Amino acid sequence: MTDVSNATPCILLLEDSAIDAELISEQIARIEPSPRLVFATSRLEFMAALAQHRCDLVLSDYSLPDFDGMAALDIVVEHAPETPFIFVSGVLGEDAAIDAFRRGATDYVLKQKLNRLPSAVERALSEARERHRRRHAEHQREILVRELSHRVKNNMAVMLSLIRRTARVAKTVEEFERSLSARVTALADGHALLFENNWNETALHDVLTRAAASFDDLQRRISVETSPNIRISPRIALSLALVFHELISNATKFGALSQQEGRVYASWTLEPRQGDAPLLHFNWIETGGPAISAPGQGGLGSRLIRSMIEYELEGRAIMDFANDGLRCLLSFPLAEGLKAP
């Protein structure tokens, strides 16, 4: 059945009497907005009409020469069970009416009282619209519950990974608590940003600036080139929230942001690919900091960055620990992201 709340209702009328069909049409024309009528006078025409049109309601005579209304009702209940079915007949007795309701009919109107047909049709269409809205709302709730369950499982997996990795390198309980709290806060900030955007695509620039905002006044020392304007999916945004936190945290401890004159320059480009998702290339360049070298066995921050980019986002992380500062290139497919128009 169509959603008739935003469309002209389509009504299929099964009636072999031309005079009765005309009288019924006159009554239906009183409904606002005026429904579109599709006529059938036989079983063959009725089946063809059901196949060719998405009808919102069926009106049917009870008795026809080569067909009967009960058979028509059974067909509708089997093939379009959400479609209301109203008998319009002059011979529908009490027993037949009870049987019709038992088999799925919505209502019946006697041909001797056709003046009540418009209200019966409007009521049936209104009830059908309400059922459609309820089913749609229930479907949306099911989708949201499944999505929430999926996100919670993913977030718990990330949290457990953060706990294990932080515990491996922490030398004291205090260091463990401090490092873990900072990473959990970064993840929470990413969630807050996504919540503000109703869990839709989020600007890449916003994810980076939100991560930098938690480091007091350091945000002004991070220059961000915002062209092109890229919007990314929630999954990518959460991964990058942690990546940006690690980049900024490492820069404040060991890199350019540990020196007053140090600066960071961030930019990105989008590489289109024929028949595949575009590649996002993110550049992180530190200048004015102390000479640095690659951490032995790979520091936790570096390992987290590589893990997020290479495993979570199926990309590549290149980290150059040069004498004049870290240069980091992160490349990954923007499979779930959007380039803003």
Q: Which CATH architecture group holds 4-132?
A: 3-Layer(aba) Sandwich (3.40)
pTM above 0.85, yes or no: no
- Tell me the per-residue pLDDT of 317-327, one tens digit each, with 9 for 90 and over: 999 887 778 99
Confidence of residue 136 (pLDDT cuts 50, 70, 90): confident
Asked whether residue 334 carries a pLDDT value surpassing 80, the answer given is yes
Confidence of residue 151 (pLDDT cuts 50, 70, 90): low
| 201-339 has the same fold as 4-132 | no
More confident residue, 147 or 172: 172
Contacts with 5 (C-beta within 8 Å, 6 or more apart), sequence order: 129, 132, 133
Asked whether residue 2 carries a pLDDT value surpassing 50, the answer given is no
Confidence of residue 172 (pLDDT cuts 50, 70, 90): confident
Asked whether residue 143 carries a pLDDT value surpassing 90, the answer given is no
Q: Which long-range contacts (CB under 8 A, 24 or more apart) does 133-140 make?
A: 133/5
Cα–Cα distances in angstroms (integers) from residue 144 to residues 137, 148, 152, 239, in the given order: 10, 6, 12, 21
d(CA 46, CA 42) in angstroms, rounded, equals: 6
CATH topology of domain 201-339: Heat Shock Protein 90 (3.30.565)
Could you state, in order of their start, the residue ranges of all structural domains in the chain? Answer: 4-132, 201-339
Residues 317, 309: contact at Cβ < 8 Å? yes
pLDDT of residue 333: 93
Asked whether residue 93 carries a pLDDT value surpassing 80, the answer given is no
Q: Determine the straight-line distance between the first and last CA of the chain, rounded to whole angstroms.
A: 36
